[in-house]
Amino acid sequence: MFKISLPDGTVREMPQGSTPGDVAAAIGPGLAKAAIAARVDGELVDLTRPFTGDAALALVTGRDEEEALELARHDFAHVLAEAVQALWPGTQITFGPATDDGFYYDVMAPASREPFGMDDLPAIEEKMREIIKADKPLRREVWSRQQLIDKWTAEGETFKAQWAAELPEGEDLTVYWSGDDWLDMCRGPHLPSTGKLDPQAFKLMRVAGAYWRGDQKNAQLTRIYGTGWLNKKQLNAHLTRLEEAAKRDHRKLGGEMDLFHLQAEAHGSVFWHPKGYVIWRELEAYMRRAIDGAGYKEVKTPQVMDARQWEQSGHWGKYRENMFVIPDEVPNVADEGPLVSNDADWMALKPMNCPAHVLIFRQGIKSYRDLPLRIYENGCCHRNEPHGALHGLMRVRQFTQDDAHIFCREDQIVAEVQAFCELADRIYKDFGFTYSIKLALRPEKRFGSEEMWDKAEAELRDAVVRAGLATEEYGWEELPGEGAFYAPKLEWHLTDAIGRTWQVGTIQSDRVLPERLDASYIAEDGEKHRPVMLHRAIFGSYERFIGILIEHFAGKLPVWLAPVQAVVATIVSDADDYAREVTERLKAAGVRVETDLRNEKINYKVREHSLKKVPHLLVVGKREAEEQTVAVRTLGAEHQKVMSLDDAIAMLKGDATAPDLRP
């Protein structure tokens, strides 16, 4: 008999050959029906997986939403592959993982037909529902590597055969049967049967091209994407979020509001139009007020630096594939090896600002009294992001960071990080964001000693605790293995108006780069010591932060950020002179204002300026001119307000005033 320990502390004795499903049935029929998987000694397994000895067991039900969703999406992917092969025999299947909101499967259509397209999705969905309703048991078996190679080769599954052939020899592999007529190679686990899926809780979304193993040199496949949930209510909520996200798409709104555009001549870089650049300048001015008040010194560093500098910093070995090099062909070299012969003159566009800031720190002798030294730069960087990864303002090749580096003594680290946490808190709240904070811990491949990482992680943790932010309210969480190669980091994840999260701000406690680039200061003992270097940003990049703001506010930016804060529009031409007078007085009050004197109906003007997300429309006609009033239409309000011109100017001046973070 095996002793099976349950979460409530009880122990059940079960005969050899028993499974987690047997334990669920022994406890009661309700649990047997609700259970979908199990954790045995912490490992997620199928309900039908026999115990191999005494074990700790936790049964998983649909109430364990995170695990249940992962299982359901994995199963939806398998059902998708089975449906495609049932509809079109000869289709080859490859990989089909779960994703953050659904699943996909890469397939190759049979030679007898064209690659799969959007028109095929309804038929695939219908077949998937048929498979789910059939409630086919999902059964695990262990096969040898050679058995799998023979099976896939015999059935013309060349991709699966290649995959199996690359797995370790002598290792038994698992397959899962769907009923008795379809199987796939998979580690699992899976739900007990296809009937555990809700046939109304998924939707196939789109198709895209993909390459076998992600390599352009390999065969092209079709990737079929779907979204999958535990029930129809969750699916509908997700589809509503997608619809709302589409309305808020910064690329769409950026065009409607005439803010920026992107084009092939500068793929991955942004053409900012005058109105879009107003937003940029306002953010830049706002951030300068913040850093001036926090004791930073602003600098400007070169765009192009000698490649040897990047080799010495460690970026060359870790980041070379993402750097633009001049000229663009440089030999592959080991991180610690010589870069190139002495007569070469290789340069690289900077992908980050930190090495240049170290070079500024190294100019002249620094004393312990000079620390902390806070160096800030609106630094333009270039990263050679893959073509397919580029996405509007959110992922670009040229971007500008609100970047700063704090050089400090060991005893100053916690206070500096705490001050940064408090500054970031004030800034994000100015924009109406809530956020969570994560601590990204040491990755597997890293520089520095274990002692160094222990200290750096403890310092960041301590600073967040002192700032009062390491709480459930702020979503405090630690992320093993997700730090940078040179330092752990705190991450700020903003939540937008429709519940999406965006990772923006960060601060990293780095002892590696000062060592590699020989930064030092003279301490009280008269000896040279290494400073600690805190890398920090709040916006992350101006481009991405502006994209996030546009989507968060659906284009209806706070008045102080709006490119045009008011438009004075006439009803009749007799009011033109008064409209010009109103415009001049608003300009004198510091309001960004335009005048619309066109011979168009006022309703047309209202619609047009609403589409451009102008916060205030001041409508004037003969009566307003005679009475020195304006009819104010505020974006999103149902009714207009008739106000005296003086009152309207005072209101707009207050709305248009930017926050000031200086003491």
- Cβ pair 194, 135 in contact under 8 A: yes
Residues 57 and 99 in one domain: no
Distances (CA, A) of 454 to 106, 450, 459, 462, 509: 42, 6, 9, 12, 11
Domain-embedded: residue 605: yes
* Segments in 333-484 forming alpha helices (H): 354-361, 413-430, 450-466
pLDDT at 336: 45
Looking up residue 118, the CATH number of its domain turns out to be 3.30.980.10
Q: Which of 203, 320, 405, 455 is catalytic?
A: 405
Sign of CA dihedral 142, 145, 148, 154: negative
Question: What is the identity of the amino acid at 418?
Answer: Q
Is 74 annotated for ligand binding?
Answer: no
Domain-embedded: residue 310: no
Residues 122 and 168 in one domain: yes
- Cβ pair 588, 543 in contact under 8 A: no
Is 354 considered catalytic here? Answer: yes
Q: Which of 350, 489, 511, 544 is catalytic?
A: 489
Is 383 considered catalytic here? Answer: yes
pLDDT at 329: 58
Residues 608 and 484 in one domain: no
Query: How many angstroms separate the CA atoms of 418 and 600, rounded?
Result: 56
> Strand, coil or helix: what is 475?
coil
Is 403 considered catalytic here? Answer: yes
Query: How many angstroms separate the CA atoms of 39 and 324, rounded?
Result: 47
Distances (CA, A) of 312 to 338, 516, 585: 10, 6, 58
Residues 606 and 625 in one domain: yes
DSSP 8-state assignment for residue 329: -
Is 466 considered catalytic here? Answer: no
Q: Which of 403, 425, 510, 596 is catalytic?
A: 403
Cis bond before residue 327 (omega within 30° of 0): yes
- Domains held by the chain: number: 4
Average pLDDT by stretches of 10, the chain with 663 residues: 92 93 93 93 93 94 91 96 96 92 95 93 97 96 91 93 86 89 92 95 95 88 96 95 94 95 92 97 96 95 89 78 76 49 69 94 95 96 88 95 96 96 94 94 88 92 92 88 89 92 94 92 95 96 97 95 96 94 96 95 94 95 94 91 95 89 65
Is 273 annotated for ligand binding?
Answer: no
| Residue 643: its H or E element | strand 641-644
Residues 224 and 295 in one domain: no
Q: Which of 535, 605, 616, 633 is catalytic?
A: 535
Tell me which residue of 174, 146, 183, 176 sits closest to 161, measured CA to CA: 146
Domain-embedded: residue 480: yes
DSSP 8-state assignment for residue 385: -
**Of 19, 46, 61, which marks where a domain is finished?**
61
Domain-embedded: residue 519: yes
Residues 377 and 521 in one domain: yes
Query: How many angstroms separate the CA atoms of 175 and 139, rounded?
Result: 8
Domain-embedded: residue 325: no
Query: How many angstroms separate the CA atoms of 492 and 638, rounded?
Result: 36
Residues 473 and 603 in one domain: no
Residues 80 and 127 in one domain: yes
Residues 228 and 292 in one domain: no
Residues 25 and 87 in one domain: no
Residues 235 and 269 in one domain: no
Q: Which of 127, 160, 196, 383 is catalytic?
A: 383
Residues 234 and 383 in one domain: no
Is 345 considered catalytic here? Answer: no
Domain-embedded: residue 638: yes
State which residues form the domain around 650.
566-656
Is 354 annotated for ligand binding?
Answer: yes
Rounded to the nearest angstrom, the gap between the alpha carbon of residue 309 and the centroid of all alpha carbons in its chain is 30
**Of 213, 243, 273, which marks where a domain is finished?**
243
| Residue 121: its H or E element | helix 121-133
> Strand, coil or helix: what is 608?
helix
DSSP 8-state assignment for residue 218: S
Domain-embedded: residue 102: yes
Q: Which of 92, 401, 508, 565 is catalytic?
A: 401
- Cβ pair 215, 109 in contact under 8 A: no
**Of 32, 61, 90, which marks where a domain is finished?**
61
Across the beta sheet with 629-634, the strand order is: 593-596, 566-570, 616-620, 629-634, 641-644
Looking up residue 598, the CATH number of its domain turns out to be 3.40.50.800
Phi, psi of 324 (to 5 degrees): -90, 120
Query: How many angstroms separate the CA atoms of 120 and 172, rounded?
Result: 36
Is 535 considered catalytic here? Answer: yes
Looking up residue 463, the CATH number of its domain turns out to be 3.30.930.10
Is 100 considered catalytic here? Answer: no
